[in-house]
Amino acid sequence: MMAQKRIAIYGKGGIGKSSTASNVAAACADEGYKVMIIGCDPKSDSSITLLGGKRIPTILDLLRQKIDVKEEDIVHEGYKGVKCVEVGGPEPGIGCAGRGIIVAIQKLKQMCKSIDDMDLIIYDVPGDIVCGGFVAPIRKGLVNQAYILTSGEYMPLYAANNICRGLAKIDTQLSGIICNSRSVTREEDIVRKFSGEIGSKLMAFIPKEQIVQDCERDGFSVLEKAPDSPVAGVYRELAHAIMSNEDSVMPEALEDERLRELTR
């Protein structure tokens, strides 16, 4: 039996973490893997394209109503049996989202028995590691592989580089870099170089394709709605790469000056 992969995808906000996570989840489900996706963003939009555009009740929604939460209340099956969980969070500007993640993760560990049967669990975490709560999945030992998603633009790379520092701080190794293209010049080259210089590797280059957006607008993953599109193939390759990846390193963040040079 293969070891369970529990991955987290980090990266600058808006760079496409949820899109990538749900497409990879769908691709792995196509291959017959048992997959769970756990959305840790208070916006709770990680699993929406696996559920035909529907939202599911979040763990924190239920805890807020003081409901005695059961597994079936929080784990919802989506595309090809992918198990979808959303942590949820307080209203923006009120309470503490970080604490919310900690509480929800504890609840999930306690309630969710099916988590042990999974081949792949994807934690879709908020973009920046802003406080202790946002690294709870890692700190609680739930994640064993971290990936960073970036484009070849300066700011997402800057964020990626910063996340490398954060990972070193929380003693978590990096398993690879994924490039979600924004169609900027020399993009693949830049991200590949960056990956190498921090000591990691480029897992996939996902081209910018309108079809991804179109499927999302309809509430579906590319794998479900446009399985024959070239980008669906890229997601499949990425899924393979992730499932067979055994390498991980402690990334070494670049100096700001070097990062600037790289993107020039």
Partner 1 sequence: MAEKDISIIHPRPSSIVAALYTLRDLNVDVAILHGPPGCSFKHARLLEEDGIHVVTTALDENGFVFGGRDELSSLLTKVNEMFNPKLIGVVGTCASMIIGEELREPVQDAKLDVPVIEVEVHAGYPNNTKGVLIALESACDAGIIDSDELERQKILLEEATNVEKRHGAASREYLTPSRGDLKYKVAEKVINYLKEGKRCLTIMNAKKETGYMFADITVAINEVAAQLGMEENVINMANVDDTLGLPRVRHHARSIMEDFKEKGITIHENIGGMDEYPIAGEKVSELIAEKYSDFDFAVITGVPHAIPMDNLAGMEVISVTNGPRQVIPLKEMGHTNVIVEIDLHPKTLGVTHIVESEFGATMREVAKDILDAEQEAA
- State yes or no: is 17 an active-site residue: yes
Q: Applying CB under 8 A, does 208 fall inside the site for partner 1?
A: no
Q: What is the Cα 259 distance to its own chain's centre? A: 24
Q: How far is the CB of 100 from partner 1 (least distance, A)?
A: 4
Neighbour-count burial of 142, counting CB atoms closer than 10 A to its CB (0-12 exposed, 13-18 middle, 19+ buried): middle
Catalytic residue of the set 17, 80, 83, 225: 17
Q: Applying CB under 8 A, does 95 fall inside the site for partner 1?
A: yes
Count of residues engaged in binding partner 1, rule: CB under 8 A = 14
Tokens linked to 163: 């996340």
> Quick one: which segment of 7-15, 98-106, 178-186, 241-249 binds partner 1 (CB under 8 A)?
98-106
Q: How far is the CB of 92 from partner 1 (least distance, A)?
A: 11
Residue number, 103 or 250, with CB nearest to partner 1: 103
- State yes or no: is 12 an active-site residue: yes
Q: Applying CB under 8 A, does 99 fall inside the site for partner 1?
A: yes
- Cα separation of 144 and 138, whole Å? 7
Give the C-alpha distances (Å, rounded to integers) separating 148 from 7, 58, 63, 135, 208: 10, 25, 31, 14, 17
Tokens linked to 121: 């669990």
Residue number, 96 or 170, with CB nearest to partner 1: 96
Q: Applying CB under 8 A, does 94 fall inside the site for partner 1?
A: yes
Contact code string over 42-81 relative to partner 1, x by CB under 8 A: ------------------x--xx-x---------------
Q: What is the Cα 233 distance to its own chain's centre? A: 19
Q: Applying CB under 8 A, does 90 fall inside the site for partner 1?
A: yes
CB 190 within 8 A of CB 157: yes
Residue number, 66 or 264, with CB nearest to partner 1: 66
- State yes or no: is 128 an active-site residue: yes
Amino acid at 123: Y
CB 56 within 8 A of CB 49: no
Q: Applying CB under 8 A, does 103 fall inside the site for partner 1?
A: yes
CA proximity to 233, closest of 243, 223, 225, 242: 223
Catalytic residue of the set 34, 128, 193, 208: 128
The string of DSSP letters for 136-149 reads HHHHTT---EEEEE
Residue number, 99 or 139, with CB nearest to partner 1: 99
> Quick one: which segment of 99-107, 116-124, 146-154, 190-198 binds partner 1 (CB under 8 A)?
99-107
Residues taking part in catalysis? 12, 17, 43, 128
